[in-house]
Structure formats: C-alpha cells, structure tokens
Amino acid sequence: MKIKILVVLLLAGFSVFAQNVNRVISLAPSITENIYLVGGKDKLVGCTSYCMLALNDGIEEIGSTVDVNVEKIFALKPDLVLTMKLTKPQDIATLEKLGLRVEVLETPISFDEICEQTQQIADLIGCEDQSTEVVAKARKTVSEIQEKAKQLPSSKIFFQIGANPVFSVLDNTFMNDFIRLCNATNIAAGLTHGTLTRESVLLKNPDVIIIAEMGGFGKEEQKVWNSYEGMEAVKNNKVYLISSETSCSPTPANFASALKDVYRFISE
C-alpha cells in the first residue's frame, strides 16, 4: 500500500513539474525536432547551432551540443535544459550548480527506444497527448513496412554514414533497424567499429549500398562506388543516397520516413 501511495505521489509531482515547464532549452538537434514534433515549440527558448528548424524560427542559439555557452543558457532562465551525453559533464555540473534542472538523455539504439525517448521528452515538457498520436502513427507505418518486407528475399546492405575514412552503420544502433526491419543483412554485422576499407566492402559484395548525404559527401561517394562495376549493387543500379536529416536524426517521424526510403531501395 505504501509503495502504491509513493508511486502516485511521484507521478503527481512529475505532472506538476511538467505543467510548470514553459521555457525549455535543447542542446541536441534530435531533441529539438522531438519538441517540435510533440507540439512544444512555443516552449523552446534556446537551441544549438545545428538546430536549423528552431534557428529559422528565431530561437536563441546557445552554442553546440559539445560547446555550450553556459552564461547565455543561464540568462535565458529556462525551467528545463534537455541534452545528450555529448555535452561536457563539467558544463552540465555548472548548470546544475546554478540551480537549473538538466535532464541528460541517452542516445536511442533502436526504433522502440526512439519512440520511448519522444514520449519521455513530451512528458517532461507537458505535451503527452500529441506525443501519443505521433508515436502511434510512426509505429503503424513501421509495422506495415516490416510486414511487407517479409516477402522480400534477404539482401546484403552496406549503409554508409561517413567518408575519409569510410564509416558504416553498426549493430546495436537505431540505424541498423532500417536494415533489420527490411529483412536484410548488414555487411558490417559483428564489427565493433564502423571504419571500413573499400576493399572489405568489395569483398562483402553488397546487393544494395545506401549513403547518407551528410555534408554533401554522399554524391561523391556514390560516384566512387559506381566505378566498381563488378559489385552486385552497381550491376543492378542499386547505389542510393538517403537524406541524413531523416535517417540520422532519431525521431519517430524521421525514422518512419527513412524506413520507407530504405524499403523502396531494397525492393526496386
């Protein structure tokens, strides 16, 4: 009985806190996108230099995820600062010493964790109703694609997210779910680091190559891979570019959008 009462009291306290959160600072682009997604953009008063959505709306820039301007954050008088583990621990400690509430979120490693984090952010800022709808819509799309993908023959995928050196999506990351949910195999499965040589990719001979556009390197990489005419992906004209904005930024809507692209690449 005492435990039940304690849980009720904790939930009540959490709810009161969320209702009083009217000024939020985001220290990560994906957090900012989630805030917009769940209808909390009017509460956002500060963001990073990479949060283009918010910057275009005139939200105050407070540095990057790694290098934050503590003085500017304090001056904005936030009720809540949301960040990821890339923010320096000493900066987080300083903000807390200044009396600010800081919530440090984990990097999601699966689609399910992306959905959970979106709901966590919504709960923290008092936007629970819209987040439920957003997550349900994304889950429906993902479930439908996964079901269709069961009919596809298994294929080997190389999903590139960096160049110089070549860098691959790894197991135990949310981006590997794009491959897994499409009934395909990641050629980098089992590796502990994402750096690959071009020779190792050629030896794996992927059926499909997907390249994130990040920083504009994607088009150049696409040209390079297409020069290897003996590779299955090249023979079948299956070297694709994918938006880094949807594939690399973990929100439910972005994931669902990118998964549609990955399914299309594999099934064409």
Q: Return the pLDDT at 17.
A: 53
Residues 6+ apart with CB under 8 A from 195: 165, 166, 167, 168
- The answer as to whether 69 is a domain residue is yes
Same-domain check for residues 179 and 263: yes
Same-domain check for residues 73 and 167: no
Domain count within the chain: 2
Q: Tell me if residue 46 falls in helix, strand or coil.
A: strand
State yes or no: pLDDT of 11 exceeds 50: no
* Range 28-40 average pLDDT: 96
- The answer as to whether 93 is a domain residue is yes
One-letter-per-residue 3-state SS of 19-61: HCCCCEEECCHHHHHHHHHCCCHHHEEEECCCCHHHHCCCCEE
206 in Cβ contact with 158 (< 8 Å): yes
- The answer as to whether 158 is a domain residue is yes
- The whole domain housing 224 covers 151-267
- The answer as to whether 128 is a domain residue is no
For 221-249, the pLDDT digits (tens) are 999 999 999 999 999 999 999 999 999 99
- The answer as to whether 140 is a domain residue is no
DSSP label at residue 63: B
User: For residue 212, what is the domain's CATH number?
Assistant: 3.40.50.1980
**Boundary-marking domain end, from 77, 105, 133:** 105
CA dist 268 and 215 (Å) reads 27
* Range 104-115 average pLDDT: 97
- The answer as to whether 168 is a domain residue is yes
CA dist 115 and 113 (Å) reads 5
Q: Return the pLDDT at 7.
A: 41
Same-domain check for residues 178 and 254: yes
* Range 118-128 average pLDDT: 96
Q: Return the pLDDT at 12.
A: 44
Same-domain check for residues 8 and 100: yes
State yes or no: pLDDT of 129 exceeds 60: yes
